[in-house]
Structures are given as C-alpha cells and as structure tokens.
C-alpha cells in the first residue's frame, strides 16, 4: 500500500512542508532512512540525520526549524513520536491476526474458551482456566489450572502462567515470562537448613499491563502480588512475592524488587535497579539505573546511588569522588605546610 504525504497529514492532523504528492510505502529509522519510506524526528540528538536522510517524509514537531536545507518532505505535527505511534498502530491493526486452535494443543475439558481466540500448537490450558474473547495464546505456552485471562490479552510463545493467576484485559506478556512462581520464602532451621514456606497466594495483573520477555513475577505467600493497570515492565525483571506495583509505573530491564515492596503510581524506574524488601516507594518517584534502594522513598523523589540518595547530590559527591586523589594530596600538603608553620615558630 502506498500513501501520499497529503493523505498521511490528513490522518495525523498535520501539515505538509514540501511535496504533497510524495509517496511512501514503508517506514525506516532516520539514521538509516530509505527512499519511499516515512520516518520521524523526536530526539534532538538525531537532528543531524534529517539533512542527509534518504527517507521521503519525516514527521517533525510543528516548531521545528531546520538549520540547513532539507531535501525530504517534512510533515509537521504536534507530537512526532506520538504521531508515529498512531501510524504504526493503524499499520498493526491492518495486519491479519492469528485465530483458531492449532493442533496438537492441550485444552482441559473444564476450561472455558471465549470467542475468536488463538491457541497455538503445544499450548497447554489447565483445568478450570477461563480464556476471554479475542485472547491470543502463542505456541508452547503454559496456562495453569484456574488461571483467568480477560478479553484481548496476548501471551507470546513459551509464556508460563502458574495456577490461580488472574490476568486483566488487553495485557501483553512476552515470551519466557513466568507469572506466579513460588515466592522465595524459607524459615531457617537450627541445623542450618531451610524449611520451605509454601506460597499459597497468587498474582493479579490488572488491565493493559505489559510484561517483558523472561520477566518473573512471584506469587504471594498468602494474598496477592499485584501489578496494577497500565504498568509496563521490560525484560528480565524480578518482582518478589507480595509486591504491589502502582498504576502506570514503568520499569526498565533487569530491575529486581524484593518481597513485600509497595510501589506507587506513575513511577519511572531505570534498569538494573535493586529494591530491598518491605519498602514503600511513593507516587511519581524516579530511580536512575543501577540504583540500590534500601529505604522507603517519598513522593516525587529522584534518586541514584547504592544506597540511594538525591540524584543531584549523588552527582556532586561523585564529581568529588573522581577528584579524591587530588583532595587527599591537598590534605597532605596542608598538613605539611601547617607542620612547617608550627616548627617555624
């Protein structure tokens, strides 16, 4: 399918700055733009590529002013990244969807299966599981007994959902994610061994949650580990038992959250962050990558370091950390001068 700059501008409520009849049939990145494709400029870091890109159309912000001459057609919109997202969503929706039950698959007789579902080959649906309408379950996926998955959710190949997990509407779970494994709970014994504490709780994913590849969310000891609506978790994340992650909080890859942590709404947590158990992270907290959190955080905190401190204070201290050999030298010199001064007298 081909579209003109004018057609796309109409769909995105934008304006064309250049050739209105310029035609595209695909998309590309601005730094590797190809003719007859559309791309976008959102991050100023990439502005230099707009002057050389081979892409035919570039979505730019309404207030973008080129510093050099531009040969591509500009399509001005309010929010280029959002506009690109909208275009790609239209494109995704136009693609045919998987549907039906491939064989061999295993669907328990006691399971309830909604309309228009896809169940891939070698997928396993346990006893009394409830699968909503339009749910897509890709091959080699395991859905344990009594799991419920609400409408329009997608589980990619090889996802593992332990029994009793509840998954909301419109969730996306990527390959290899494990939802509902035993929380890590052991009672130490006098002889040095550890007695397992059975974990009889479960996991709840509310609506519109996205879980990355190979991410693990452990089930609660007694109640529920809860991922609230709109939460987006990247790949290889660990969420311990009894945690709650608040609405619209976003967490980058490889972050680990120990047990019984309560995280607020609209937090942004970087990659490889570690959060100790039983803490409370308030709303709108921002945590820089690799930070180690060992105490609770107030609303709006922005932190870094291990253990964490205010981000700008961390940067100031770290600047002096880099100069520590100099500071030590200065101290040594001061001592000597003072000694000289004292002995002079």
- List binders of its own copies among 133-152 (CB under 8 A): 138-142, 144
Stretch that binds its own copies, among 3-11, 14-22, 63-71, 316-324 (CB under 8 A): 316-324
Stretch that binds its own copies, among 63-71, 110-118, 128-136, 332-340 (CB under 8 A): 332-340
| Binding positions for its own copies, 7-36, rule CB under 8 A | 27-29, 32
Residues paired with 3 in a beta bridge: 24
| Binding positions for its own copies, 165-194, rule CB under 8 A | 172, 174-176, 178, 181-182, 184, 186-187, 192-194
- Of 113 and 309, which CB lies nearer to its own copies in the complex structure? 309
> Shortest gap between Cβ of 342 and its own copies (angstroms)?
7
- Of 21 and 32, which CB lies nearer to its own copies in the complex structure? 32
Neighbours of 103 (CB within 10 A): 8
d(CA 318, CA 49): 34
| Binding positions for its own copies, 58-77, rule CB under 8 A | none
338 binds its own copies (CB under 8 A): yes
Identified binder of its own copies from the candidate list 58, 236, 263, 297, rule CB under 8 A: 236
Identified binder of its own copies from the candidate list 62, 110, 112, 317, rule CB under 8 A: 317
- Three-state SS string over 248-284 comes to CCEECCCCEECCCCEECCCCEECCCCEECCCCEECCC
Q: Residue 231 to residues 79, 228, 258, 263: CA-CA distances in angstroms? A: 23, 6, 18, 11
> Shortest gap between Cβ of 213 and its own copies (angstroms)?
4
Among the listed residues 164, 174, 202, 241, the single catalytic one is 241
Buried b (16+ CB within 10 A) or exposed e, 283-319: bbbbbbeebbbeebbeeebbbbbeebeebeebeeeee
- Of 76 and 160, which CB lies nearer to its own copies in the complex structure? 160
| Binding positions for its own copies, 276-315, rule CB under 8 A | 276, 278, 289-290, 292, 294, 306-307, 309, 313
**DSSP run (H or E) holding 73:** strand 73-77
278 catalytically annotated: no
- Assign residue 221 a region: left if phi > 0, alpha if psi is -120 to 50, beta otherwise? alpha
Q: Please, which contacts does 246-254 make with residues 24 or more away whose CB atoms are closer than 8 Å?
A: 246/283, 247/206, 252/289, 253/212
> Shortest gap between Cβ of 233 and its own copies (angstroms)?
9
Helix axes 80-94, 5-12, angle to 10 degrees: 100
| Binding positions for its own copies, 238-257, rule CB under 8 A | 238, 240, 242, 247-248, 250, 252-254, 256
Catalytic positions, written as ranges? 241
């Amino acid at each position: 399918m081909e579209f003109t700059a004018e057609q796309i501008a109409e769909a995105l409520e934008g304006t064309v700055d250049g050739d209105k009849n310029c035609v595209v049939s695909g998309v590309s990145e601005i730094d590797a733009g190809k003719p007859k494709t559309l791309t976008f400029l959102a991050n100023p870091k990439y502005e230099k590529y707009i002057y050389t890109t081979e892409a035919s159309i570039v979505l730019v912000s309404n207030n973008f002013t080129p510093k050099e001459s531009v040969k591509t057609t500009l399509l001005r919109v309010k929010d280029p990244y959002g506009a690109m997202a909208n275009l790609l969503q239209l494109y995704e929706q136009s693609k045919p969807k998987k549907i039906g039950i491939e064989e061999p698959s295993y669907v328990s007789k006691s399971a309830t299966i909604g309309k228009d579902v896809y169940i891939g080959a070698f997928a396993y649906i346990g006893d009394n599981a409830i699968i909503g309408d339009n749910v897509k379950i890709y091959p080699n996926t395991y859905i344990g007994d009594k799991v419920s998955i609400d409408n329009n959710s997608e589980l990619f190949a090889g996802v593992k959902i332990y029994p009793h997990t509840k998954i909301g509407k419109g969730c996306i779970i990527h390959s290899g994610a494990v939802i509902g494994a035993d929380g890590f709970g052991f009672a130490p014994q006098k002889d040095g061994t550890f007695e397992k504490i059975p974990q009889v709780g479960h996991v709840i994913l509310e609506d519109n949650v996205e879980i990355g590849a190979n991410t693990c969310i452990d089930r609660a000891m007694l109640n529920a580990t809860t991922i609230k609506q709109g939460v987006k978790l990247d790949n290889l994340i660990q969420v311990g038992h009894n945690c709650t992650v608040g609405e619209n909080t976003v967490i980058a890859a490889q972050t680990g959250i120990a047990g019984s942590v309560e995280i607020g709404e609209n937090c942004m947590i970087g990659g490889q962050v570690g959060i100790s158990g039983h803490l409370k992270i308030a709303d709108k907290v921002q945590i820089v990558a690799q930070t180690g959190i060992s105490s609770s955080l107030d609303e709006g905190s922005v932190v870094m370091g291990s253990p964490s401190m205010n981000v700008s204070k961390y940067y100031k201290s770290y600047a002096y950390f880099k100069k520590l050999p100099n500071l030590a030298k200065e101290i040594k010199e001061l001592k000597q001068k003072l000694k000289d001064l004292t002995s002079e007298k």
